[in-house]
Structure 1
């Protein structure tokens, strides 16, 4: 076991992220997202709002190559503040964003390699799916 000085220190998240291959996906979800029992999941939710979803997304982006982010179209209407925050986060990393209907988002969510549940409680449709990129 290695004690990390920086980066993601959660061993479950480290394990699941290290198993990702090109085109695999990881979902970072809010506290209310329905997660099927068969999905690999890491539950970080502690109390309402902790951890908040954008800090988890930023942490993963520091560790992983991401070629695309997928979000529900409905976020633009119901959580425009969060949509703007995500747009800025992904633009800084030059990651394209695909917005799709929530029903389609849920179909993609059922196929992720791992779902990381946060304590996000403030925004509707706040979950995001990150698609793993290729280092070369």
Structure 2
């Protein structure tokens, strides 16, 4: 029987698929997707830091749902606290080298990271100025 039928590819096909897989996509290189979770955590944390700085400036605000039933100042304080929790999550997660590193963190830290990431999901559409 042909070896190809048992999952072994001819060398030329393996070389071709390796080249295709390593070519990346658009402006994203193959290396850019290694440890994508921590790479994205770094990108998100830097942008959240800039967002937090902008929110503290004269054009800062807060999502309407946070301002309901309280003053604009109180809503803004809640919003800044939420952004800080998101920021903490991504700044801490970026130092994990893999899923196992995260699992070895103290449970309290894992919970704070999960909370911040969930807030990121919950308030994703509110991340604008």
TM over 0.5: no
Name which one, 1 or 2, has greater alpha-carbon Rg. Answer: 2
Interval of TM-score (by shorter of Structure 1 and Structure 2): under 0.3
* TM-score, with length taken from structure 1: 0.22
Higher helix share: 2
Higher strand share: 1
Kindly indicate whether structure 1 or structure 2 has the higher relative contact order, using CA contacts under 8 Å at least 6 residues apart: 1
